[in-house]
Amino acid sequence: MTSQKEAMLAGGPYLADDPELAADALRAALLSERFNATSAADPEARRAALAELLGEVGEGVEIRPPLRVDYGHHISVGPRTFINFGAVLLDVGRITIGADVQFGPNVQLLTPTHPIDPEQRRAKWEGARPITIGDNVWLGGGVIVCPGVTIGEDTVVGAGAVVTRDLPAGVVAVGNPARVIRRIGEEAGEEGS
């Protein structure tokens, strides 16, 4: 028989109040508290707390507290990635963040899904779809990435955008829902965070 955790990671329906999942969530909450309480004056302690919380942390990664996660160990962060203050990484499904990625403040990566049917929601059924952020992506402040989205390498997503579907590599996308406004290199200019 498949456990609720296995069903969750496979993207199938699962019961959110499962005891094994509750224990994993408590572990993440306690490790998050420890990470969020670390001092910038002690980067080794901050890195150690982050390495214990997350599934994989590449060399040279900087994540500024506060950070919020569901489980932590379903998150992989590639080398030299920078994640600014206030990130929310809801890793009910797997979250893969590439190398050299930049997050502005208050970015949210949201893998959980919920049934439309009110009775299924009342019964605490949930689901999840993984999120993948390619290498050298820049997510401006306040960007929200919805379940199941993949963002291609070198893409820039403007501040406040809501990404509801995949974005190709090498584009600039803005808005709610996010839409591609141009390919990178088509015209000069800087996008703000």
| pLDDT at residue number 38 | 94
pLDDT of residue 1: 61
Q: What is the mean pLDDT of each run of 10 residues along the chain (193 residues)?
A: 82 88 94 95 94 97 97 97 98 97 98 95 93 98 98 98 98 98 76 50
CA torsion sign, 84 to 88 to 91 to 94?
A: negative
Instruction: List the chain domain ranges.
Output: 4-183
Catalytic site residues? 114
* Stretch (H or E) spanning 87: strand 87-90
Q: What b-and-e string marks burial along 147-176, b requiring 16 or more CB atoms within 10 Å of the CB?
A: bbbbbbbbbbbbbbbebeeebebbbbbbee
pLDDT of residue 127: 93
**CATH placement of domain 4-183:** 2.160.10.10
Rounded to two decimals, the pTM is: 0.93
CB 68 within 8 A of CB 32: yes
Cα 139 from Cα 44, distance rounded (Å):
26
Q: How far apart are the first and last CA of the chain?
A: 47
Q: What is the pLDDT of residue 54?
A: 97
| pLDDT number for residue 11 | 85
